[in-house]
Amino acid sequence: MKSVLVIEDDPDTRAILAEILASEGYEAVAVGAGDAAVKYLGSHAAPCLVLLDFRLPGMNGIAFLQWLNKQEHLKKLPVAIISALRVDAEKEKASFRDHVVAILRKPFTLEDVLELIDSHCGESPPREEAA
């Protein structure tokens, strides 16, 4: 099962994203801070995509991307920034060109998120039909 790492400090948004991803057939790993994501990535296989909020407690989105740039084994891990903050898309994409593949401004649509995930993880796995 393909996994997506959600790094989002808002518990409601985090839970909704995880639930939607699970319903679409992805393994959703959801954490509330950058340091928790670092811990996860240190002990698990890389996900097919990271959804990263920029405003996080402790290690924020920029600090997480800076850490990610130093990880040779995660050199090409795609990251989509999801934020209500105004993010200079061209600057962030240039600064973290090996990682930042998209920037979604909150509030985003479900369709936008799923299209982004499908483009980096492949089409959604088939859902199991209830018997």
Helix, strand, or coil here: 6?
strand
Q: What pLDDT is recorded for position 77?
A: 94
Q: What is the pTM of this model?
A: 0.86
* pLDDT tens-digit readout, 26-73: 999 999 999 999 999 999 999 999 999 988 999 988 899 999 989 999
pLDDT for 89 equals 53
The tokens describing 57, both together, are 């407690």
Kindly report the average pLDDT of the chain as a whole number.
85
**Whether residue 106 has pLDDT greater than 90:** no
What domains, with CATH codes, occur in the chain? 3-121 (3.40.50.2300)
pLDDT(86) > 90: no
Angle at 50 between CA 129 and CA 36, to 5 degrees: 105
Contact, 101 vs 79, CB < 8 A?
yes
Q: Does position 123 have pLDDT exceeding 50, yes or no?
A: yes
pLDDT for 103 equals 82
Tokens coding 39? 């811990």
